[in-house]
Structure 1
Amino acid sequence: MGKPGTTAPIYQKSKKMKMRSLPLYALCLLLCTLMACQQQGRKNAPVIKAKERSTKVLTKQDYLPQVVDSNALNKFLDSSSLYKHYANEVRDFYAKREYHYAWVDHDTMTEQAGNFINMVETDPALGNGTSGLQNKQLNELYNEIGVDSGKVNPGDPRIAKLEMMLTAHFFLYADKVWGGMTSDSARALDWYIPRKKLDMGSVLQSMISQKSGSFTSDEPVNQQYKLLRDQLKKLADIEQEGHWDTIAVSKATIKSGQHSPVISQVKNKLHAFGDLADADTSQTFTPALDSALRNFEDRMGLKVDGQITPAVVNALNVPLKNRMEQILVNMERLRWVPADPSGDYLLVNIPAYKLYVYEDGKLAWSCNVVVGKPGGSTVIFTKKMQYVVFSPYWNVAPGILAHEVLPAVKRNPGYLARENMEVVTGSGKVVTGVNFSKYTGSNFPYIIRQRPGGKNALGKVKFLFPNEYNIYLHDTPSKGLFNATNRSFSHGCIRVQEPEKLANWVLRKDSVWNADKIHAAMNAGKEKYVQLKGDEQVPVYISYFTAFVDSKGRLNLRNDVYGHDAQLAKLLFANR
């Protein structure tokens, strides 16, 4: 979930902007021109703390002088099918400010009125669909009333309507662009992280209270969302330049020092993406190309070897329209997450196969993980970590018991002894002499568990955040899997490359557990539970982002491991 923003120019009435029905790539081209976000010098972070909103208590002197007639407001809302859904929010907003205007000050439209109109005009709803967001009547009314640098005729009867329409349209816009899909839609897409809660009345009050500057610095969205929006515009600019010939894919690998026409094509695309600093049309594989390829491979999640492989060519050949849609899909997910998480927490990004460790909202370190394979996918959810278990037993899960362990025992009676496993009752009493031929996975009355030790599938430590999905973090004896590029091998739980470092981090505030004691407990061969104190129970977020911006400001793209992008794209782009 990671990073921050600039200001937008005031809307110019003499340059009316007209939105047409355009394809996705053209809409994306318009997107973000007023909302670019700076990104240098920040840690790679799917989430960082956003700017705090103003909590100033307004006095009557802070309000604009004009007031909205409550009867006129009710009549306006009751007659509008577009804004009827937001009627209560609009009424509540005006009631809290004693019905004082929000957008018109004496004889002048406020700067924030222009900024909001500008935002709506240039923002195609970021994949939510544009229906209702570009309101022709609102734009015409704004341009007709404020014809001279925002000056208005105080006696113009249309001002009240414009005032009410701007406020109502804000709630519509905020719901679509900053709120995103409904919670039910998210759950249908296997997303079980609780949605952020938005008080849009407070957001609006904070935004209009600013005397200058754009809305974007106060947007109630995660900072990674802003970074992706910036990257979206960059891709749209690249596509507009239009030099994207498909590169022929060959089984042969092209290495440093070789010559090939493919090299010049690869250089062209890498230069456009920013991986290759200087334009170079030669067909020679140069040291600069080697560095550019390594950069591209790293941010695409490919094997980093500085060679032109089929995987590299395939990644370069993905149409930019597809890449932009991938960004839009992930921006939709980022609408759902907290805008400003703080404190300590752990974040697993499934498509990146990474665990990120945060302290006070900032990235402290990260490491590789192995996640569930398709068909045994890792669930997207969040819970608080409550236990660290050293030298753990592994209780074989029902699915693995039925499909793997029991069939193996029936084939080979010595299987349990070879794998250091035992049969126990629910209370942990060891059972011997079991006739396995009588049972299937569904009627097996006991637990099969693997004793602590070198063969234990959970390794030397596991980290529990109790949940209904029976998913947790743990060590593994299969260390070689962390070197794989695509690391979806488990049955759903998450294997951690640096479990001892994680144990030290989780217990760093507990004076009882120093590094030596943790190391000893991991190698004791005897299971030991450590319950975390309340303030040490860090949240664990299991997330799914195939597009994100890293600490170097680079756009990272990953494969859609479980097909979640494809499902969400069907909903987002159904009307395109």
Structure 2
Amino acid sequence: MKTSRRRFLVNAGALAATTLSGSAMAQDVIHDLLNAPRRGNWNDQFDARASEGGKVESTMPIFSPQTVVYIEQAISQYANIVAQGGWPTVPMVNKLKLGMSDPAVAELRKRLMISGDLSRTAGVSNSFDTYVDAAVKRFQARHGLPADGVLGKYSYAAMNVSADVRLGQLETNLVRLRSMSGFLGDRYVMVNIPAAQIEAVEGDRVVLRHTAIVGKIDRQTPILNSKINEVIVNPYWNAPESIVRKDIIPLMRKDPQYLTKNSIRILGPDGKEIDPTTIDWNTEDAAKFRFRQDPGEINAMASVKINFPNPHAVYMHDTPQQSLFSKLMRFDSSGCVRVQNVRDLVTWLIRDTPGWDRQTFEQTIKTGESTPVQIANPVPVYFTYVSAWSTGDGVVHFRDDIYGRDGVDELKISAAL
């Protein structure tokens, strides 16, 4: 006679009840068994518990009063880790990954247990099993690394930053977060430079999250507060003087057709176009002129430019170089911020502007004509520098201190590799 799964579980619970003291304990066993997720077998359920730790992704904004509470809890947690001696250094073994067995994995397990990425029920062994794989992916996600479960040089470097340095990083960023924990607007845009990420926030909830490209170390994206007041569809691009000197003039020396190939025109003080062949490119005389690129697919801002008043002459924009968004270190701009899936953000920004919606926006792009759109209700925008934060109990995020503003060389990971 066949035994149903439910009857089996009930019988198992009853059997457990005879060996446990007290009916309450028996009921707990039955409850656990009956309500366990039906994952195919009980080993899967153990696997879930062994690599538990909570979700890394969250709709909680970095600039949230609750984030301040969570980072304070994280500071207490990390202070306790430091007091107990921190965590072990994980030996670098080339591309340590699922299925491998190595003595370094035992140290890896201990490291992940201490930081809360791996449950202590997983045990310590030399086996890089599914528990360790899930824990490594969680660690990578918390540190802004590709969550592929493979330990490369960036994962090792992030993992081997000492606990006391991480504690100091949390304390430094707590000050930054406290200064921005008040009311920032019913909806706003936040650009987090070290994370190279953008949050569109509404009702204290992240409604859009965008990957970004921010400024190089020698051309840094500035810290600023402003309001987005304009979107330009099919914008002209006016090259800043710094780019003319550092980039365009050297490129023209190598290739006299560079400007023509890239639809860039030289305009004099009177607005009239100047023939590039009349300029001596062995000097820097060209820097006194205006360089303007026509709208189009190869335009440096591609389909759209997002404007907001600021003394740094920076803005947010689309880009024809979409492949850059897949880079691990996305610090490639000259200070402005490139936005992945920027059309989603623009649609959100212009939604209250009469006569504009996603369909109108897309149709305007197709015309190729430069079209400014004034935002009916300007949206606050904050360019900030937050390299450590927490959006949940036990979920602590760290990023590379790309501009060295945290004051500890050990946190400038990309510079050291």
Q: Amino acid of the residue matched to residue 447 of structure 1? A: R
Q: What secondary structure does 2:68 align onto?
A: helix
Please name the residue that 1:319 is paired with. 162
Any conservation in 2 of the 1:395–1:449 contact (CA below 8 Å)?
Answer: yes
Cα separation, 2, equivalents of 1:246 and 1:41? 27
Please name the residue that 2:112 is paired with. 270
Q: Amino acid of the residue matched to residue 45 of structure 1? A: P
Q: Can you give the 5+ residue segments of structure 1 that lack an aligned partner in the other structure? A: 1-38, 49-221, 570-576
- Deviation per CA, 1:70-122, whole angstroms, max 9, x where unpaired? xxxxxxxxxxxxxxxxxxxxxxxxxxxxxxxxxxxxxxxxxxxxxxxxxxxxx
Q: Amino acid of the residue matched to residue 43 of structure 1? A: T
Counting only pairs closer than 5 Å after superposition, residues 333-372 of structure 1 correspond to structure 2 as: 333-372=176-215
Please name the residue that 2:344 is paired with. 501
- Provide the TM-score with structure 2 as the length reference: 0.80
Deviation at 1:343, TM superposition (A): 0.6
Please name the residue that 1:127 is paired with. none
Deviation at 1:499, TM superposition (A): 1.0
Q: What secondary structure does 1:313 align onto?
A: helix
Cα separation, 2, equivalents of 1:393 and 1:425? 16
Tell me the C-alpha RMSD between the 2 structures.
2.4
Any conservation in 2 of the 1:472–1:494 contact (CA below 8 Å)?
Answer: yes
Cα pair distance change 1:284/1:510, threshold 3 Å? same
Cα pair distance change 1:386/1:302, threshold 3 Å? same
The structure whose Rg is larger is 1
Any conservation in 2 of the 1:299–1:556 contact (CA below 8 Å)?
Answer: yes
- Provide the TM-score with structure 1 as the length reference: 0.58
Counting only pairs closer than 5 Å after superposition, residues 547-558 of structure 1 correspond to structure 2 as: 547-550=388-391, 554-558=395-399
1:47 to 63, 69, 81: 63
- Deviation per CA, 1:472-495, whole angstroms, max 9, x where unpaired? 000001111111111000000000
Deviation at 1:411, TM superposition (A): 3.1
Cα separation, 1, equivalents of 2:262 and 2:324? 20
Cα separation, 1, equivalents of 2:66 and 2:409? 21
Any conservation in 1 of the 2:116–2:394 contact (CA below 8 Å)?
Answer: no
Any conservation in 1 of the 2:88–2:111 contact (CA below 8 Å)?
Answer: no
Q: Amino acid of the residue matched to residue 152 of structure 2? A: T
Cα pair distance change 1:400/1:243, threshold 3 Å? closer
Counting only pairs closer than 5 Å after superposition, residues 149-548 of structure 1 correspond to structure 2 as: 222-242=65-85, 244-250=87-93, 252-277=94-119, 278-426=121-269, 428-432=271-275, 435-437=278-280, 440-441=283-284, 444-533=287-376, 536-548=377-389
Q: What secondary structure does 1:399 align onto?
A: helix
Q: What secondary structure does 1:348 align onto?
A: strand
Q: What secondary structure does 2:198 align onto?
A: strand
Any conservation in 1 of the 2:60–2:204 contact (CA below 8 Å)?
Answer: no
Any conservation in 1 of the 2:249–2:286 contact (CA below 8 Å)?
Answer: no
Cα separation, 2, equivalents of 1:428 and 1:392? 17
Deviation at 1:319, TM superposition (A): 1.2
Higher strand share: 2
Cα pair distance change 1:481/1:273, threshold 3 Å? same
Cα pair distance change 1:241/1:438, threshold 3 Å? closer
Cα pair distance change 1:332/1:440, threshold 3 Å? farther
Q: Can you give the 5+ residue segments of structure 2 that lack an aligned partner in the other structure? A: 1-54, 411-417
Deviation at 1:312, TM superposition (A): 2.2
Deviation at 1:400, TM superposition (A): 0.6
Please name the residue that 1:59 is paired with. none
Q: What secondary structure does 2:335 align onto?
A: coil
